[in-house]
Amino acid sequence: MSARILDGKAIAEQVREQIARDAAALIAQGTQPCLAVILVGNDPASSVYVRNKVAGCEKAGFRSLKFEYAADAEPQVVLDKIAELNADASVHGILVQLPLPPQFDEDAVLEAIDPDKDVDGFHAVNVGRLLQGREGFYPCTPWGVIKMLEVGGVEIQGKDAVVIGRSNIVGKPMAVMLLARGATVTVCHSKTKDLAGHVRRADIVIAAVGRPNFVTGDMLKPGAVVIDVGINRLPSGKLCGDVEFASAAEVASLITPVPGGVGPMTITMLLGNTLLSAQRAAK
């Protein structure tokens, strides 16, 4: 194996220590960062994510509020709660865990959140701000990838980057963030004709397709930087990414593992966004 491993767990730990220090300074001035999390239904993965988000808040010295609703909840009840949290000056971040049950209009729920408390960065106003390169909240997973590239000393400007996946949560914002930093960006997806050909030309590959071991070493340019956003569970129960780690690590210069790569960065950036919101509110 020749690639250097970019340790997301260690980077996340470092960033969280700084967030906790900044939170303590803000608390000393009378403002405690507060994140409100809304969970509807009983999807086991969502419950785990929400538990980890609340635990992350506690560890960083933040206040957290958790509101849970049954899977058959009336959407209006959730919209009323969002309105109440929007109006509460002690709440700096509001997050609705996705996916929502089918009776919900997900876009309408996200749009109900005050964009200045939308720490997930999913509100159309924040998506527009990101696209225009303005201050706002940026989606946590791609934002975490950028942080990892920075810590890893990866030059983005002038590089050919390929993003595999075009979701609103990862692929699209990832492409915009790389573009803003001067990369030449190609977004590949399920309809792309020669995906391997695109990947082979890339200096930076971001895999966010949700298919186990989709990117293999023979598809990579020697020395490429490979960031694996995928978290897939194999029938054996084992977690694996979108990149076949062993073969990719033979060819890449830098690679993220799964688990322990991008995963730990997502909640870290959520805490960062919540802190930022609290700092803005305290000004």
Summarize as ranges the residues that interact with ligand GUN (CB under 6 A). Answer: 95-98, 120, 140, 169
Q: Which is nearer to ligand GUN, 27 or 98 (CB)?
A: 98
Quick one: which of 158, 143, 172, 151 has its CA closest to 270?
143
Catalytic residue among 53, 159, 172, 221: 53
Least distance between ligand GUN and beta carbon 155 (Å) = 27
* Residue in the shown chain whose Cβ atom is closest to ligand GUN: 98
DSSP state of 219: G
Closest Cα partner for 248 from 207, 197, 211?
207
Marked catalytic residue, from 7, 22, 118, 120: 120
Active site residue 53: yes
C-beta of residue 184 within 8 angstroms of C-beta of residue 161: yes
Q: How far is the CB of 159 from ligand GUN (least distance, A)?
A: 26
Active site residue 120: yes
What the block records as the tokens of 119 is 């720490």
Q: How far apart are CA 267 and CA 39, in angstroms?
A: 16
Query: Closer CB to ligand GUN, residue 123 or residue 159?
Result: 123
Task: Return left, alpha or beta for 43; rule: phi > 0 is left, psi -120 to 50 is alpha, else beta.
Answer: beta
Q: What's the closest the beta carbon of residue 177 comes to ligand GUN, in angstroms? A: 15
For residues 137 and 245, which CB has a smaller minimum distance to ligand GUN in the complex? Answer: 137
The amino acid sitting at 58 is E
**Nearest residue (CB) to ligand GUN, 171 versus 217:** 171
Residue carrying the six token digits 């810590």: 151
Dihedral, CA of residue 15, residue 18, residue 19 and residue 24, to nearest 10: 160
CA dihedral over 125, 130, 133, 134, signed as positive or negative: positive
Point out the catalytic residue in the list 7, 22, 97, 172.
97
Is the Cβ of residue 33 or residue 139 nearer to ligand GUN in the bound state?
A: 139
Alpha-carbon distance values, 207 to 1, 230, 231 (Å): 20, 7, 10
Q: Give the active site residues.
A: 53, 97, 120
